[in-house]
Chains A and B, each alone.
Chain A
Amino acid sequence: MSLLEIKNLHASVDGHEILKGINLTINPGEVHSIMGPNGSGKSTLAQVLARRQAYNVTQGSVTFMGKDLLEMKPEDAACEGVFMAFQYPVEIPGIGNTYFMRSALNAIRKYHGQDEMDAMDFLPMFREKLRLLEMDEKLLNRSVNEGFSGGEKKRNEILQMAVLQPRLAILDETDSGLDIDALRIVANGVNALRSPDRAMLVVTHYQRLLNYIVPDFVHVLVDGRIVRSGGPELALELEEKGYSWTEGQTRQPVQASA
């Protein structure tokens, strides 16, 4: 059974249609990358999958592990195993990073009928993940993302992913704004989480990230539709030709789909 199956997905925000019929199937263990120019709908797709309610799904279906994802609230999707690393992680003053992560993990464990994890068990595990992301232990005691640098925020997203161990990880432009060292650390963190039963959807504007996280499939999203799909070599081709090359693609009557 596929992990995620998107069929003819249409979504709009404030009455503007952004996604105009997305078809995409992701199997466990696969890494898919969605590339596309600004405004093509990449982030909208990520947000719809994370169940942000500002996006209105007008047509189509999304099945996640056999269940209707579009029926789920954000917290339910998270508990079922969907995780999105935010393009712009939110600062939440007054809530400690450690407390937040333990609350989230315990919410998910409770959903699955598991016992909650106490601080004694949680902390060593959290510290280990922190080392994976080469993050300073001081961040444990700080408020969620408050005063973090751009790179620290993105690392914190991957740290959360490492703690919550989702089935589907969506990275929404996680590479944007990162210097090469931070990019390498983030990519290492992501690669360490690759596993046969976990899939990833890497949304990016730049090919650079894909040198570090090598995808199995690359899809090109233009104007709310996937116009081309291929292997990792497609990313290189895009890099070489630029997105202007895709502009002609939208007018082609036949669209590729995965």
Chain B
Amino acid sequence: MTTAIADLESYLDEFTSFSKREGAPDWLKRLREDAFACFCQTGLPTTHDEDWRFTNISAIAKTDFELPGRPTQLSAADLSAWKFPIGAAIELVFVDGQFVAELSTTSSLPSGVDVSSLREQTTKGALEHLGRYLNIQRDAFAALNTAFVDDGAFVHVSREVVLDRPIRLRFISTQAVSPRMVHPRNLLIFDQESQAAVIEEYVSLGTGTVLSNSVTELVADENANVSHYMIEREHLGAFNISTLRIQQGRSSNVASHSLLLGGGLVRNNVHPVLAGEGGECLINGLFVGNGRQHLDNYMYVEHASPHCSSRQFYNGILDGHAHGVFHGRIVVHKDAQKTDAKQTNRNLLLSDNAQIDTKPQLEIYADDVKCTHGATIGHIEENALFYLRSRGIDEISARRLLLMAFANECLDRMATGPARDYAERLIHEHLLKIADHVTTADGSVQERSWEEVG
């Protein structure tokens, strides 16, 4: 897991100048320094590292990234292309990693709900949960994020507050003249019996080499009911490493929905820990790759208490030379009796050059548990295609319908509401682009069927 020292040098330069910036309280400076030391010790991962076997990040390691300078000025008109279907969402906008109050909507927050920038919070005093659950020893990118922790979203929903509108966090990267890195850090805290949905969305306004290395710490206390949506739709040259670390209390219910549509090299880490009895976690995802996109989903589900259940469902659609990865690790600790863990990864390959690596990894230390896993890799089924066409639906529309049907499995697991409507619209718009060119050149019929791989 060691990287050439040269690769780390540019980070050292950036960290040195970053540390000299004014304004950070001492406790935060210490947190950063410890994390940077940790990062230097660990180094960037390589494909020799089991957790990174299928994802080569040498393109990131080779690049000298800089922190963004003065933030690019954007107007509301620049963002009009991403209008949310409902106007009343609570929204924080970040441009190149920095919170922009003028573009955000935090007025008329219900009482008991705090939505603000992390920077604002850190100036007020030490944050109890910041970095508390994240393992920076194990994960270099999480360490790097913590070393450069500066801004991001802070959400706190108080006890028994039910939020009927989703909170949307938009991370916008602007045109990058030289390679730029941002390290958004979000802290989402949901007290007992609260209920809310958060959408974390990454988009590009312009191209260029950008690395978005985000960490979101989500704490769901007893009986809290939380939905989190990760939507990646940056441009095809973007690097996006995201880590969602979920800490679940007793009888809490958390749903993590990931939607990877954009980005060039994407690593989506989802790491829930079911720490209280009777917790439930749904880990749902759809990744759609095209061209040379590389979309890696690394799930690490820890059962640490009895009577918890986790459900992982990831669907992949891969076209062109796209490469998808699904790594589903489940760890059932010794005391987590009566664990019920399930994992399913289904993939549709639309071209001969598309590739998927899918790997279940179960580590069970308790003796009374139920754990199942399964993966399928297939193509669009010729029988189904013919059936639709024989009823008058043309070939492109029929393919589109079948892709939608496959994606709908994922949508159906989202609770109905504006967040799901938004996800649905994004998926459908995206699949229209994919289905159009997936016609067989000669109309020949190939025998295509689902095939069990594990």
Interface 1/0s, chain B 439-454, versus A by CB < 8 A?
Answer: 0000111000000000
- Selected contact of B387 from candidates A90, A93, A105, A143, CB within 8 Å: A90
> Number of contact residues on B: which range applies?
20 to 34
B405 touches A92 (CB 8 A): yes
- Selected contact of B392 from candidates A90, A93, A111, A143, CB within 8 Å: A111
Q: Is B409 an interface residue (CB 8 A)?
A: yes
Given contacts A54-B445, A92-B384, contact A74 B406 (CB under 8 A): no
Q: Is A94 an interface residue (CB 8 A)?
A: yes
A75 touches B394 (CB 8 A): yes
B408 touches A94 (CB 8 A): yes
A110 nearest CB neighbor, chain B only: B392
Q: Is A78 an interface residue (CB 8 A)?
A: yes
B401 touches A95 (CB 8 A): yes
| B residues less than 8 Å from A74 (CB atoms) | 386, 389-390
Interface 1/0s, chain B 358-390, versus A by CB < 8 A?
Answer: 000000000000000000000001011011111
| A residues less than 8 Å from B387 (CB atoms) | 86, 89-90, 92
Scoring A73, A74, A143 by chain B CB atoms within 10 A of each residue's CB, the highest score goes to: A74
Assembly CA distance A217 to B407 (angstroms): 47
| B residues less than 8 Å from A100 (CB atoms) | 388, 391, 401
Assembly CA distance A89 to B389 (angstroms): 13
Assembly CA distance A99 to B409 (angstroms): 16
Q: Is B79 an interface residue (CB 8 A)?
A: no
Q: Is A186 an interface residue (CB 8 A)?
A: no
Given contacts A53-B443, A92-B384, A92-B405, contact A73 B393 (CB under 8 A): no
B391 touches A164 (CB 8 A): yes
Q: Is B404 an interface residue (CB 8 A)?
A: yes
Q: Is B207 an interface residue (CB 8 A)?
A: no
Question: Within the complex, what minimum Cβ distance (angstroms) separates A98 from chain B?
Answer: 13
- Selected contact of A53 from candidates B397, B398, B409, B444, CB within 8 Å: B444
Is chain B's binding surface mostly helix, strand, loop or mixed? Answer: helix
Scoring B391, B394, B444 by chain A CB atoms within 10 A of each residue's CB, the highest score goes to: B391
- Selected contact of A73 from candidates B383, B389, B409, B444, CB within 8 Å: B389
Within 8 A of B (CB), among A133-176: 143, 160, 164
Within 8 A of A (CB), among B41-72: none
Assembly CA distance A187 to B256 (angstroms): 50
A54 nearest CB neighbor, chain B only: B445
| A residues less than 8 Å from B405 (CB atoms) | 92-95, 143
A94 touches B383 (CB 8 A): no
Q: Is A79 an interface residue (CB 8 A)?
A: yes
Q: Is A6 an interface residue (CB 8 A)?
A: no
| B residues less than 8 Å from A218 (CB atoms) | none
| A residues less than 8 Å from B404 (CB atoms) | 94-95
| A residues less than 8 Å from B390 (CB atoms) | 50-52, 74-75, 77-78, 83-84, 86
Interface size on A, residues (CB 8 A): 30
Q: Is A214 an interface residue (CB 8 A)?
A: no
- Selected contact of B393 from candidates A53, A83, A90, A104, CB within 8 Å: A104
Question: Within the complex, what minimum Cβ distance (angstroms) separates B204 from chain A?
Answer: 30
Q: Is A2 an interface residue (CB 8 A)?
A: no
Q: Is B395 an interface residue (CB 8 A)?
A: yes
A92 touches B388 (CB 8 A): yes
Q: Is A195 an interface residue (CB 8 A)?
A: no
Assembly CA distance A143 to B390 (angstroms): 18
| A residues less than 8 Å from B384 (CB atoms) | 90, 92
| B residues less than 8 Å from A90 (CB atoms) | 381, 383-384, 386-387
A53 touches B383 (CB 8 A): no
Q: Is B432 an interface residue (CB 8 A)?
A: no
| B residues less than 8 Å from A111 (CB atoms) | 392
Question: Within the complex, what minimum Cβ distance (angstroms) separates B91 from chain A?
Answer: 31
Scoring B384, B389, B407 by chain A CB atoms within 10 A of each residue's CB, the highest score goes to: B389
| A residues less than 8 Å from B394 (CB atoms) | 73, 75, 107
| A residues less than 8 Å from B113 (CB atoms) | none
Q: Is B402 an interface residue (CB 8 A)?
A: yes
Given contacts A93-B405, A94-B406, A94-B408, contact A52 B386 (CB under 8 A): yes
Q: Is A108 an interface residue (CB 8 A)?
A: yes
Question: Within the complex, what minimum Cβ distance (angstroms) separates A143 from chain B?
Answer: 8
B389 touches A75 (CB 8 A): yes
Q: Is A38 an interface residue (CB 8 A)?
A: no
| A residues less than 8 Å from B386 (CB atoms) | 52, 74, 90
Q: Is A103 an interface residue (CB 8 A)?
A: yes
The 4 closest A-B pairs by CB, nearest first: A94-B405, A104-B391, A78-B392, A74-B389
Q: Can you sample 5 A-B contacts with CB below 8 Å? A: A52-B386, A53-B444, A86-B390, A104-B392, A111-B392
Chain B interface residues (CB < 8 Å from chain A): 381, 383-384, 386-395, 397-398, 401-402, 404-409, 443-445
